[in-house]
Structure 1
Amino acid sequence: MRLKLSSLLAAVSLLCGPAFAAPALPDRADIRDSGFVYCVSGQVNTFNPQKVSSGLIVDTLAAQIYDRLLDVDPYTYRLVPELAESWEVLDNGATYRFHLRRHVPFQRTAWFTPTRDFNADDVIFTFGRIFNRDHPWHNVNGSSFPYFDSLQFADSVESVRKLDNQTVEFRLKRPDASFLWHLATHYASITSAEYAARLTQDDRQEQLDRQPVGTGPFQLSDYRSGQYVRLQRHPGYWRGKPLMPQVVVDLGSGGTGRLSKLLTGECDVLAWPAASQLTILRDDPRLRLTLRPGMNIAWLAFNTAKPPLDNPEVRHALALAINNQRLMQSIYYGTAETAASMLPRASWAYDNDAKITEYNPQEARARLKALGLEKPDPQAVGAHQLAGVESQPAENGGAYPGGYGADWR
């Protein structure tokens, strides 16, 4: 099966159990015979991941509908080819030349029938729309491309050129070691230039982001706002026809409602369970829990503009007094790791030599005393504040003080 859920870092699968009809979904028997139901909490505001900073399209749907030039191996965290078969880094990192994969068809949908395969024109169109403020498509459905805007990428790219039908070249204004990694995100999903031209001809440009056409393993079949997204397999998918004919993404419930659907058989897969639900899930023999570290990280931030926190020695002493393991166990139920740096282990730029600050309250007191801070007057963190933190994993990607773990998005 060629179902890609590359952003899914935690999920629970129902291995067996009864099937119940879900009123908001298409016919349950039809789904059970030819696919599965994927339960998730979220909304779909667009079907183009370039136009948002987060959400269901980025976390789940983009990997099914679209491809990118590059991908990241989820186990080794190395860049691997996708729509680009190979690439060259030239001019000391200021120029990137991509050699594109041949015989990659776009999806044939109810709203568009492609007449050609993926080629350099699609890459030029995709990134021209994002980077070039004068591009005729830049302002369609709004001029914001949040991910690339936040990086000021338009000011970093000098040109994107088509060398031939299977070769494109990006020239940067200055070398950027992170450039390839940005192209491997779902925000850099490739869209069809031919589809855009047809929509321009029909004066229906806004449909590009609402009725998607990509090269991914599944294509949009039906969408009911607040209820479900039905995906059907793309029979011409370049990696081989997906074995599963369809996937239904159930949007109809959140919180414990999704867990109830899993346990009663209305869902086959539950995405992003809350950490507080993991004990229930682990103990149920019908379920299989999949978990691996993600890219999210959170931290306790000091206000370094005010004394005594403007002194690095004070900050280090306080770091020794933070019991990360206790926080992670009580709030995240053992699903997190202590961070050694501001970057998670999954990041390409992670420093493997970074050291974790060990919990040592005696040493913390001694250092604070030596710094003349024997009687600190901290503001206590109340139980209601910790409860607020505890509620974050399901909604905010599992943020917690001083560590990183599974990204529930």
Structure 2
Amino acid sequence: MRLLSSRAALLGATLLSGALAVVGGTVAAQAKTLVYCSEGSPEGFDAALYSTNSTWDASSETVYDRLTEFKAGTTEIVPGLAESWTISDDNLEYVLKLREGVQFQKTDYFTPSRAFNADDVLFSYNRQIDKTSPWYNYTGMGNWEMFDAMEMGKIVKEIVKVDDHTVKFVLNQPDASLLAKLALNFGVILSAEYAAQLEKSGNQLDLDHKPVGTGPFVFNAYQQDAVIRFAANPDYWGGKPKIDTLIFAITVDSTTRMQRLKAGECQIAPYPAPADVEGLKADPSLTVVEQPGLNVAYMSYNTLVAPFDKVEVRKALNMAINRQAIVDSIYQGFGQVAQTGVPPTMWSYNGAIKGPVYDPELAKKMLDEAGVKDLNMKIWAMPVARPYMPNARRTAEMMQADLAQVGVKVEIVSYEWGEYLKKSRDKARDGAVILGATSDNGDPDNMLSFFFVCSAIGSSNMSNWCYKPVDDLLQQGRITSDATKRKEIYEKAQEYIDEQAPWLPIAHSTVVLPMSKKVKNYVMEPLGSHRFKNVDLDE
């Protein structure tokens, strides 16, 4: 067994020394501390700005709440900060009754003077809609990735404060999945009072660095790329969590995460390497849960850059890559070859699509016919394991070897995770990027619009691909309430995407999560998040 690095050992000691947790300003010798060995650092703590589960787990699922929520372990919509709602007959007005008496968290840097109300809803959403707002571009990032990918700015005409505890969403067009969209991570509700305090003091960036929400855990501290500390929110409207202190021990390397789990340095550790799963199952101190993921791993070409602007070139490159060999080697029984961006377990999956057939001879001929010779290209490989992709570097190496057989020279590049995500969104990006996603709400609109809607070019549309027939279908799917018709719409969209090949779908994975047998009440989420508000620990 490989020894832990000195940094890992030091952090482990730090975590153990933190067992006497500081809760509510006092030392609690018997306090329950849950350590989660997370796979990556958060990009920030304003969840609406980002689109990765590693960021959302450390922000949206801990500090914040949304108007609607997903019932634990399902994609069923249940009340959140909105306790009820009514919908007009024309499906253009949603009136939401807000939960009363919900308190914002008290921290060292903010003391709320009032409870949650409609002003907080308007602030949280309008900052993403109104380009003249001082909060629209407060970080300099220039977009709200998930909000924009779901085209909420087009869907929502206005949000009206009816009274302190009632808001009305007025739509430009019906949207069959609006309540599910409100449960997405861009819908986190922030304190308008805290934002006003930061704006007045000139410290707007603290909204992304020092979060305040109504959620089950209060942010305490973040040591960059090492540790995030949270304390149970004693005033949480859903009841104080059973664990007193929640620690994210950021551990990028999968092997090290599993070593820490076995050593008892953390109680939950996601994304084991497939080769390690059987050994984890054999450990009597651990429980290993698994389920098919609502996810997809892919490689996206930059269709704005030659020769990837030619469909025949993209299709040839796809045919040169042996996806089955990648799935066999990388996923080792915990994945299947992806044919579309919609996973087989999601409604509207088009099972008639078979995807690119591995045929290097034909691929080479197609490249020759397209006038592409001595092609040099870059493939970007993620530096971290994700639920949809256990080992992007090894995947890129296998692609590199396959493409060499058809005369294409590949350079593999990578960056630190946050930088990787930032650079991959650049419309001038040089290279095909390996990434993936897990559905946020179980609706095909969420998956397909995120990847391919025209308005998301330069953001979540990593292929920078705008194809009017697909864009029109996605718009049509939103305003169609008939489930059968929606299914037909999304199936047709998948056919167009397969024909035009702006990307290479790689795999759908089975998600595996090992944890200590001391962990109680943890529910595995089909949407890829990790929630701790109901978790308990045996003494």
- Pick the TM interval, shorter chain: 0.7 to 0.9
Residue 224 of structure 1 aligns with an amino acid whose one-letter code is Q
Structure 2 residue matching 1:291: 3-state secondary structure: strand
Matched-pair contact (CA < 8 Å) for 1:234–1:242: yes
Corresponding position of 1:228: 227
Look up the match of 1:405. Answer: 510
Aligned to 1:134: 132
Which residue is equivalent to 1:191?
190
Q: Structure 1: how far apart are the matches of 2:19 and 2:299? A: 49
Is the partner of 2:162 in helix, strand or coil?
Answer: strand
**1:386 aligned to 2:398?**
yes
Aligned length: 366
Change (3 A) 1:335 1:74: farther
Q: Secondary structure at the match of 2:292?
A: coil
How far residue 64 of structure 1 moved from its aligned partner, in angstroms, is 0.9
How far did 1:203 drift? 3.0
Distance 1:47 1:53 in 2: 12
User: Helix, strand or coil for the counterpart of 1:401?
Assistant: strand
1:351 paired with 2:341, answer no
**Aligned AA (1:229):** I
* Residues 200-225 of structure 1, C-alpha deviations (whole Å, 9 max, x = no match): 33332222221111011001012111
**In 2, distance between residues paired with 1:54 and 1:309?**
28
Give the deviation of 1:397 after TM superposition.
5.5
Matched, 1:159 2:158: yes
**For 1:47-66, what aligned pairs fall within 5 Å after superposition?**
47-54=45-52, 56-66=54-64
Q: Give yes or no for the alignment of 1:67 onto 2:172.
A: no
Give the letter aligned to residue 99 of structure 2.
R
**Structure 2 residue 232 is matched with structure 1 residue 243:** no
Cα distance per residue 1:148-191 (max 9 Å; x no partner): 12334323321111011111111122222232222111121110
* CA–CA distance in structure 2, aligned partners of residues 50 and 279 of structure 1: 37
> Which residue of structure 1 aligns with residue 19 of structure 2?
29
Corresponding position of 2:487 = none
C-alpha distance 404-199 of structure 1, shift in aligned 2 (>3 A): same
Give, in angstroms, the shift of residue 81 of structure 1. 1.1
Contact 1:120-1:167 within 8 A present in 2 as well:
yes
Instruction: Check 1:408–1:235 CA distance in 2 against 1; reply closer, same or farther (3 A cut).
Output: closer
Q: Unpaired runs of 5+ in structure 1?
A: 1-18, 369-374
Distance in 1 separating the partners of 2:209 and 2:313: 52
Unaligned stretches of 5+ in structure 2? Answer: 1-8, 22-29, 302-307, 366-393, 402-413, 418-434, 439-504, 512-526, 530-539
| TM-score, with length taken from structure 2 | 0.59
Question: Do 1:97 and 1:170's aligned partners in 2 also have CA atoms closer than 8 Å?
Answer: yes
Q: 1:170 is matched with which residue?
A: 169
Q: Does 1:306 align with 2:309?
A: no
1:290–1:96: structure 2 CA closer, same or farther, 3 Å change rule?
Answer: same
User: What SS does structure 2 have at the residue aligned with 1:248?
Assistant: strand
Mark the CA change 1:280 to 1:193 in structure 2 (over 3 Å): closer, same or farther: same
Amino acid across the alignment from 1:405 = T
Q: Distance in 2 between matches of 1:401 and 1:42?
A: 22
Query: Which residue number corresponds to residue 5 of structure 1?
Result: none
Q: How far is 1:387 from its partner?
A: 7.9
Q: Provide Cα deviations, 1:90-132, integer angstroms capped at 9, x if missing partner.
A: 2533222211111211111111111221111110110011111
Q: How far, CA to CA, are the matches of 1:53 and 1:405 in structure 2? A: 21
Task: For residue 20 of structure 2, give the secondary structure of its aligned residue in structure 1.
Answer: helix
Distance 1:210 1:115 in 2: 21
Say whether the 8 Å CA contact 1:123–1:190 is kept in structure 2: yes
Q: Distance in 2 between matches of 1:125 and 1:58?
A: 20
The alpha-carbon distance between structure 1 residues 383 and 89, as it changes in their structure 2 partners (threshold 3 A), is closer
Per the alignment, in what secondary structure is the counterpart of residue 46 of structure 1?
coil
Q: For residue 62 of structure 1, give the secondary structure of its aligned residue in structure 2.
A: coil
Equivalent in the alignment of 2:98: 100
* 1:10-59 deviation line (CA, Å, top 9, x unaligned): xxxxxxxxx99724437243259521211012123311111122252214
One-letter identity of the residue aligned with 1:281:
L
Match of 1:81 in 2: 79
Residue 386 of structure 2 aligns with which residue?
none
Check the 8 A contact 2:16/2:265 in 1, yes or no. no
Match in the other structure for 1:267: 266
Shift of 1:63: 0.6
Pair 1:330–1:337, CA change in 2 (3 A) = same
* The 10-residue stretch of structure 1 (139-148 or 104-113) with the greater mean CA deviation from structure 2: 139-148
Cα offset for 1:345? 5.3
RCO higher in structure (CA 8 A, sep ≥6): 1
Q: 1:306 to 1:204 in 2, by over 3 A?
A: closer
Report Cα offsets for 1:249-308 as digits up to 9, x if no partner: 101552322122112221211122232321221221211112223331246999994399
User: Quick check: 2:295–2:508 contact (8 Å CA) kept in 1?
Assistant: no
Change (3 A) 1:261 1:124: same
Report the AA paired with residue 139 of structure 1.
N
Mark the CA change 1:75 to 1:224 in structure 2 (over 3 Å): closer, same or farther: closer
Distance 1:209 1:377 in 2: 47
Please give the alpha-carbon distance, in whole angstroms, between the structure 1 residues aligned to 2:10 and 2:185.
Answer: 34
